[in-house]
Structure 1
């Protein structure tokens, strides 16, 4: 093992990471670095900054649901009141958070709706289809979406 991984192991132990987790992490990282450039500093960055990323204040993942990850503090169950946070993290500034994937989904849905309207418009201009059903369906669908959005906003602002 080289000096980078020795220093990383010391820093992780100082931050309360269990010894078996430190050993497995160092083993995996050294194998990864050997497959790459061979220089861990080039692969992972400065050792102190990398250790901060690997030892996140005693929080550990405890489950996922779709894209959401849930974390827990393991000391809270075994240590009791001694595991209390002295400086809890600040409350989020926003109530809802939309990811880039959500915005991508919205953009795709809007693009598909525009495409449908354009294709129906082309067929109406050529005279092949009566567009009354499409117009009524689009109006009802748009009204339903607007009502659902209005109810959601109204519920969250109470």
Structure 2
């Protein structure tokens, strides 16, 4: 189910030259998120014109919409290790600008005077984001992104380290863009075994024709899921 907000967003994304399948996928992800959180789209994402410009800047952002910084690096990590990765890359001078609709961290590093950053992640219930931000603001924490029920905050380490937070010789930009933890891989493996167990049980208690239909559907779904996963991983690592 779409809303006037997402209808307008779709039109602007198409007008910016974004491929139709990417527009549809983005709208589906955002619609699912809003349905789960119960949030108002405009309150959650901001005015549709500015949000569309952030998702697909096209030939250039409007006068009041900041474009991507030079040296932007986009990366992702799973929920088990993303805080450790944020700490690591914050110490390397990477400042998170936002979290995009696919859950990736859009970050940049000041080429002239890089400094260390620190991050924290809060689990926030729908409608409590402003209250959480207000609670952390006195300590210098600034919201830098939202993904599902997670809210991410940043602050320069100069607040606690002083001049030592400066980074005279920052490391090179990592070659990888996807960082998956061992715990995440174990979780996926256990989930796959659970799905296989359910499928095996269904096969045992179903009749012959149902078994064939189920098996064909399961294999087709597995192949499609594998192709999409590989395509997404390839795209993230380009």
State whether TM-score is above 0.5.
Answer: no
TM range (shorter): 0.3 to 0.5
Which one has a larger percent helix, Structure 1 or Structure 2? 1
Q: TM-score, normalised by structure 2?
A: 0.31
TM-score, length-scaled by structure 1: 0.43
Judging by fraction of residues, say which structure has more strand: 2
Q: Which has the higher contact order (CA 8 A, sep 6+)?
A: 2
Which is higher, the Rg of structure 1 or of structure 2? 1
